[in-house]
Amino acid sequence: MATTTSTAARRAAPSRRSTARRPGGERLQPAFLWMVLPAFVLFFVFHTVPVLQGIFYSFTDSPGYGEWNWVGLSNYVALLSDARIGSAYLFTLQFAFVTTILVNALALGLAVGLNGKIKFKNTLRGVYFIPNILAILVVGYVFNYLFSSSIPAIARALGAEGRLSTSILADPQLAWIGIVILAVWQATAFNIIIYLAGLQTVPGELYEAASLDGAGRWRQFRSITFPLIAGFFTINMVLSLKSFLQVFDHIVAMTNGGPGTATESVGLVIYRGGFQGGEYGYQIANAVIFMIVIIVFAIVQLRVLQRNEVSPS
């Protein structure tokens, strides 16, 4: 018995020498470190270093090439009094909030419907996912043609007068609506998939017990479905708002920022000024501020929405 024990101890000795300990005392296999290390190096070189380099150039007057001078906080101070920047932030925030709410409301409703006992359920799930695999620019130009030519032509043929007989994309007050419609149509598909995944985690026994207690469909949704998929709702809301705050392709395809500057987003202003207008250092400072705004919104969203989450267990 003593011989067997000592043999097992000798076999285990090399394994102990080849492992490291986590702060909690649990052993960590070196293989895990070798798998993580390449990803960490790639992330640091191609993500962290460019971010740090960008923050450095935000304190310069660099046009993106050639010589530059250190200007300290001048770019950040100038941004606070730039009316075009303020207008871009206001448009971007309004667009992001409206689109996030519409996308999640529509996606949640469709997901609940597609999770029910209906015919052609799997086929419909595939059909609703198609917009997510289409390129935004391509779809955007199709929507642009619809709003600029098809809908006004149909309205005039029907004798309708007013704003429907002209392109809403040419109206500074209505152009954003066309962009919202495109964004909602394209983004709803991805959110449906996440909500469907969440609905699969809700135990069916809860619905059976609720039915026996006389709870209707709406009551079951409010008291069972939504609380139990609140975690998925949080994920969708955070990802949607982050994505729509960075809106770019939709605007390029639909209005290119116009009419005038009515639909210029922060991302579009940064691109135009930084890469086409010789304002590289100035727009990098704008990008740094915008990055902080997005992080703050994400943290606030997570803190607020996670308070209402419950566990299925």
* Mean pLDDT confidence for 276-295: 94
Summarize pLDDT for 136-185 with one digit per residue, the tens. Answer: 999 999 999 999 999 999 988 888 777 778 899 999 999 999 999 999 99
Summarize pLDDT for 14-24 with one digit per residue, the tens. Answer: 444 445 555 55
Give the residue, 271 or 163, on which the prediction is more confident.
271
Q: Which of the four pLDDT bands, split at 50, 70 and 90, describes residue 107?
A: very high
Under a CB-based contact definition with an 8 Å cutoff, are residues 192 and 110 in contact? Answer: yes
With vertex at residue 194, the alpha carbon angle to CA 138 and CA 223, rounded to the nearest 5 degrees, is 135
* CB-neighbour burial class of residue 220 (10 A; exposed 0-12, middle 13-18, buried 19+): middle
**The pair of three-digit structure tokens given for residue 69, joined into one six-digit string:** 């001078």
* Mean pLDDT confidence for 297-313: 80
Coil/strand/helix, residue 247 = coil
Assign residue 72 a region (left: φ > 0; alpha: ψ between -120 and 50; beta: otherwise): left
Asked if pLDDT for residue 25 goes beyond 70, the answer is: no
Summarize pLDDT for 30-81 with one digit per residue, the tens. Answer: 888 888 999 999 999 999 999 999 999 999 999 988 899 999 999 999 999 9
pLDDT score of 191: 95
> Cis link prior to 259 (omega < 30° from 0)?
yes
pLDDT score of 312: 55
pTM for the model stands at: 0.84
Under a CB-based contact definition with an 8 Å cutoff, are residues 171 and 184 in contact? Answer: no
Give the distance, in angstroms, between the CA of residue 237 and the centroid of all CA atoms in the same chain: 8
**The pair of three-digit structure tokens given for residue 77, joined into one six-digit string:** 């101070």
* Mean pLDDT confidence for 218-232: 92
pLDDT score of 195: 96
pLDDT score of 81: 92
pLDDT score of 310: 66
Asked if pLDDT for residue 4 goes beyond 60, the answer is: no
Under a CB-based contact definition with an 8 Å cutoff, are residues 266 and 286 in contact? Answer: yes
Tracing tokens 């303020």 back to the chain, one arrives at 86
Question: DSSP letter string over 72-109?
Answer: TTHHHHHHHT-HHHHHHHHHHHHHHHHHHHHHHHHHHH
pLDDT score of 139: 93
pLDDT score of 159: 82
**The pair of three-digit structure tokens given for residue 282, joined into one six-digit string:** 């100035």
Question: DSSP letter string over 207-255?
Answer: HHHHHHTT--HHHHIIIIIHHHTHHHHHHHHHHHHHHHHT--HHHHHHT
pLDDT score of 34: 87
Q: How many helices (H) and strands (E) does the chain have?
A: 16, 2
pLDDT score of 19: 52
Question: Who's near 171: CB < 8 A, 6+ residues apart?
Answer: 163, 259
pLDDT score of 5: 46
pLDDT score of 12: 46
How much of the chain, in percent, has pLDDT values that exceed 70?
Answer: 89
How far apart CA 98 and CA 218 sit, in angstroms, is: 25
